[in-house]
Amino acid sequence: MAIWRFLPGSDITFVGYQGDAVCEAKLKVIARYISWEVFVGMIIAAVILLPLFSFFDLIDQLDDVGKGTYGIKDAFLYMLMLVPRRFIQLAPFIALLGTVGALGVLAVNLELVALRVAGLSPLAISLPAVGVGLLLTSLIVGLEYLVAPQLQQKATVLRAVALEQSVELGRGLGIWTRDAQNILRIGEMLNQNLGRDIEIIHFSRQGTMTAHVQAQYADIIDDGLWKLHEVTVRTFTPEKIAATHTSIASWRSFLGPEDVATLTKPPESLTPLELMRHTEFLQDTGQQADAYLLALWRKAGAVVMTTAMVLVAIPFVFGSVREGLSGKLVLASLMGIGVYLLDQIIANAGLAFHLNPIFTSLSPGLLLIAVAGYWLLRRVA
């Protein structure tokens, strides 16, 4: 292998030839150097993007300061608890801008030219960057399982309590769910163990409505036992409709406390395991699970997209050096915004038209990986 000596600002000087062992050691040094530069680039991108978008979150929360007991301290706490979720959402852009920035600096300093003259292909140069990208995806997975959902759920509850609001879905329609012979509507959840405005509709095995139960509120006890308060029961028979009223009644629900908690959380705030369990429950009871399936596969799509952004960054830095680093970063930013908008359009269209959530979640990232991979393979030689 030919060895060339290069220092930024100096000429490229041919040194001679060295054996395989020495070359392998030097290649490891080069790989570590590129990895470190890309790692630092991603940290810089995160330091810029994360506070910026967290600041936007804080501004959004300031509109609610003064309502109930919600104060400035609560707004800051809410913003901080959403930082892991924002990091996951911004990870593809951190990967793109960090890689373009790091390798762009090497390109502007002609260090990439020196590596190419030494015989390294764009694919070989990009592998250390891909390795750093895989470390970033590992961090995303860890945050998605262990940190972000828990903090986001806690932030949502604390905010609702401070604003003296209930946790509610459906903008006034309440929470609806069912099993084979029951339909349950919860008007609103005052907390995880207390629901208000409860309706239960019972059906026979033939699908005929047999009873309608309405309660002002319900205490949710362990093992699926609900204690209903101020209950009105209407029973339906072929001959008549009978109504009775009682102050307290017990009902064995088909939902456990964990199921109720899951129903009151936005799909994106659930862990992958919670999403899988709840999706299975919805499918087993014949309910629509599209939103939860999409949320589940979009978590996988974020990992794929982050890897894709690292690969897509490579062609940016092997263009003309005359473009400069700022030009490369602007182009990368515009492309990142375009990819984000396309990803959102595909996801929403998939939800509206009931498309396969695996396709709508993974296809943008896989397409970018295919395009970048094709570009790299063409330049292996």
Q: Please give the share of the chain, as a percent, with pLDDT higher than 70.
A: 86
pLDDT value at position 326? 79
pLDDT value at position 216? 92
The answer to whether 111 and 6 have CB atoms below 8 angstroms apart is yes
Burial class (CB within 10 angstroms; exposed 0-12, middle 13-18, buried 19+) of 96: buried
Q: Is the pLDDT of residue 380 over 60?
A: no
pLDDT value at position 130? 93
Q: Is the pLDDT of residue 320 over 70?
A: no
pLDDT value at position 28? 87
CA–CA separation, 12 vs 349, rounded Å? 53
Task: Tell me which H or E stretch contains 78.
Answer: helix 72-81
**299 or 258: which leads in pLDDT:** 299
- Model confidence band, residue 7 (pLDDT cutoffs 50, 70, 90): very low
- Model confidence band, residue 318 (pLDDT cutoffs 50, 70, 90): confident
Which residues touch 40 (CB under 8 Å, ≥6 apart)?
102
Q: Is the pLDDT of residue 110 over 50?
A: yes
Q: Is the pLDDT of residue 375 over 60?
A: yes
pLDDT value at position 164? 60
pLDDT value at position 27? 83
Q: Is the pLDDT of residue 346 over 70?
A: yes
Average pLDDT over residues 35-46: 96
Sheet strands (E) in the chain? 2-5, 13-17, 175-178, 182-191, 194-203, 209-220, 225-236, 241-252
pLDDT value at position 167? 47
Task: Tell me which H or E stretch contains 262.
Answer: helix 257-263
Q: Is the pTM of this model over 0.85?
A: no
pLDDT value at position 321? 55
- Model confidence band, residue 323 (pLDDT cutoffs 50, 70, 90): low
- Model confidence band, residue 84 (pLDDT cutoffs 50, 70, 90): very high
Write out pLDDT tens, residues 204-255.
Answer: 988 899 999 999 989 888 777 899 999 999 999 888 899 999 999 999 888 7
Q: Is the pLDDT of residue 42 over 80?
A: yes
Average pLDDT over residues 156-164: 77
**27 or 134: which leads in pLDDT:** 134
pLDDT value at position 165? 55
**88 or 67: which leads in pLDDT:** 88
pLDDT value at position 9? 46
Write out pLDDT tens, residues 117-144.
Answer: 888 888 888 899 999 999 999 999 999 9
pLDDT value at position 170? 45
Q: Diameter of the chain by CA atoms? A: 102
pLDDT value at position 171? 44
| Encoded tokens for 48 | 């810029």
Exposure class string for 8-24: b at 16+ Cβ within 10 A, else e: eeeeeeeeeeeeeeebe
Supply the mean pLDDT for the chain: 84
Burial class (CB within 10 angstroms; exposed 0-12, middle 13-18, buried 19+) of 29: exposed
pLDDT value at position 258? 66
User: Tokens 């319900």 appear where?
Assistant: 218
209-220: strand order across its sheet = 175-178, 182-191, 194-203, 209-220, 225-236, 241-252
The DSSP string of 302-349 is HHHHHHHHHHHHHHHHTS-GGGHHHHHHHHHHHHHHHHHHHHHHHHHH
